[in-house]
Amino acid sequence: MSSSVLKGAKLRRANFTLVWAAALKKAGLSGFHFHDLRHTGNDLAARSGASLRDLMTRMGHSTTRAALIYEHTAMERDRAIADVLGKLAEEALKDQDPEGSST
């Protein structure tokens, strides 16, 4: 069965692999699975600041265990937040001591 045979036909589980493989070939990609799109979407949602409940709802997870897989990206966000908080603390300390001297 070629992808040209599928033109206009309903996409079904039985013919999806053929259509997906043809799309990857046309795009010059390899080793990319359709499920990777789902993972990427939730990964980006986590990076955008989505809560654990938001991620669970988007993915249809009933437990936090599965949704926590995507929270690894929150570690990067946590580092960025910590950096900003550090700068704010430094500024607050300078405001208390305008000369910037340490006591």
Please state the domain extents for the chain. 1-32, 34-96
- pLDDT, residue 25, reads 93
Q: What is the pLDDT of residue 7?
A: 74
Q: For residues 90 and 64, what is the distance between their CA atoms, to the nearest angstrom? A: 36
For 40-87, write each residue's pLDDT tens digit: 888 888 888 888 899 899 989 888 888 787 776 566 777 888 899 999
Cα–Cα distance for residue pair 17/22, rounded to 1 Å: 9
pTM, two decimals, is 0.53
